[in-house]
Amino acid sequence: MTSPTPRVVSGIQPSGTIHLGNYFGAIRQHIALQDTHPGDAFYFIADYHALTTVRDPAVLRAHVFDSALTYLALGLDPARATLFRQSDVPEVTELAWLLATVTGMGLLERAHSYKDKLANNITPSVGLFFYPVLMAADILAHDGTLVPVGKDQLQHVEMAQDMATHFNEAYGRDPPVLYRPEPLPAKAAVVPGLDGRKMSKSYDNSLLLFESGKPLRKRVGQIVTDSTPLGEPLPFATCNVVALLRLFCDDAELAAIETYYRDGRRDGAPFGYGHAKLLLAEKIEQHFAPARARREQLLTPAGRAEIEAVLTRGAQRARAVASATLARCRRACGLR
Ligand code: AQP
């Protein structure tokens, strides 16, 4: 059950500023896929989803804008990829309802991300519990067959597969009403935050892409490490700073860092966590320097108008696909 044209569909929540986890877990791959799937790479800014955590309209609008700005600064090409606001395609909310009617409670109760939020004392709304259904609707409404996500989201894509199967079993397998999506997991492991938990917008443990100079060094300085004194051997395999350095360093650089950790020295001088953190801050600053410059250019009035136009055109393209899918689903269920 695959769609005639493989279509890449994925999204990001404008629930905070985009961080290294979002970049290495998702956005880097999203941008690469516009080369292999030109015209069929759909990325949405999940503002309906973000309403489960953001309650200030001005803040939500600012995060939506910043998400679009970040994608474009990082190299998303609107001629090859479709970028749009989720809420500009309201068909997904109706499809979410149709999917909810064929989805068992048990499926949602098993969601790891929901259980993690509970474990982290986040008071759940029905919307948060319902998140995997809306995410499935986002994918299925746009006939997404390839879903690039971070490893933390794999279970949600599997749930979307289950929901498509249940819907087809209820309303039409041949031809299928909905296409089965396949996950495309990021190569990078789940990126840890400053405190070692998953880096997450809602845990205040993020490193941002465009921070630089002293504020960046200060933030990197907050990465939790043990209390090994300067000049003593450091634990390479379990260190949070190393987990983040892995995102930026090639094998030779990592091998060199491993020797500094093992010896507690670099070029004869004592080496400690402070030095490792400085290396990381430099790497982050260098890696995102070209995108930071493009971001500045887009922050002009002309750039802002261009971003709005990109989102409007993207919504038109996405809505054309979603309304056709929804019409198919409504017909299949017996709705007018
Ligand atoms: N720490 C991470 N490591 C690897 N990938 C990650 N992603 C998020 N955090 C990490 C991937 O980023 C994409 C977009 O995520 P999202 O914004 O839709 O939601 P999320 O996974 O819930 O991200 P956050 O930052 O944790 O947001 P909040 O705090 O609002 O819930 C996804 O592909 C995800 O895998």
* Per-residue tokens: 309: 């136009």
Give the mean model confidence (pLDDT) for residues 1-24.
Answer: 88
pTM above 0.85, yes or no: yes
Higher pLDDT pick, 114 / 318: 318
- Residue 253 and residue 142 share a domain: no
| 218 in catalytic set | no
**Three state DSSP letters for 79-140:** CCEEEEEHHHCCHHHHHHHHHHCCCCHHHHHCCHHHHHHHHCCCCCCHHHHHHHHHHHHHHH
Distance from C-alpha of 92 to C-alpha of 89, rounded to nearest angstrom? 6
Give the mean model confidence (pLDDT) for residues 1-16.
Answer: 84
CA distances from 274 to 204, 217, 255, 290 (A): 21, 10, 19, 26
Distance from C-alpha of 280 to C-alpha of 27, rounded to nearest angstrom? 20
In tens, the pLDDT along 32-74 reads 999 999 999 999 999 999 999 899 999 999 999 999 999 999 9
Burial of 165 (0-12, 13-18, 19+ CB in 10 A): middle
- pLDDT of 17 higher than 50: yes
Q: What is the pLDDT of residue 1?
A: 47
- Residue 164 and residue 268 share a domain: no
* Per-residue tokens: 28: 């880097």
CATH of the domain at 328: 3.40.50.620
Q: What is the pLDDT of residue 202?
A: 81
- Residue 122 and residue 267 share a domain: no
Q: To the nearest whole number, what is the mean pLDDT of the chain?
A: 95
Give the mean model confidence (pLDDT) for residues 13-30.
Answer: 95
User: Using an 8 Å Cβ cutoff, are 140 and 164 in contact?
Assistant: yes
Is 72 part of any domain?
yes
- Residue 131 and residue 109 share a domain: yes
- Residue 173 and residue 247 share a domain: no
Q: How far is the CA of 258 from the centre of ligand 1 (A)?
A: 29
Domain count, the chain: 2
Q: Which amino acid is at 283?
A: K
**CB of 205 sitting under 6 A from ligand 1:** no
- Residue 137 and residue 232 share a domain: no
Which of 201, 214, 277, 283 is labelled catalytic? 201
**310: phi > 0 → left, psi -120 to 50 → alpha, else beta; which?**
alpha
Is 157 part of any domain?
yes
CATH of the domain at 240: 1.10.240.10
Local confidence band at 106 (pLDDT 50, 70, 90 cut-offs) = very high
- pLDDT of 4 higher than 80: no
Host domain of residue 89 = 8-192+301-333
- Residue 138 and residue 41 share a domain: yes
Q: What is the pLDDT of residue 173?
A: 73
- pLDDT of 152 higher than 90: no
- Residue 251 and residue 327 share a domain: no
- Residue 23 and residue 115 share a domain: yes
Q: Which of the 8 DSSP states describes residue 151?
A: G
What percent of the chain shows pLDDT beyond 70? Answer: 99
| 214 in catalytic set | no
- Residue 53 and residue 98 share a domain: yes
Dihedral, CA atoms, 197, 188, 181, 333, nearest 10 degrees? 20
- Residue 241 and residue 138 share a domain: no
Nearest alpha carbon, ligand 1 atom 18: 12
- Residue 221 and residue 128 share a domain: no
Give the mean model confidence (pLDDT) for residues 282-309.
Answer: 96
Is 199 part of any domain?
no
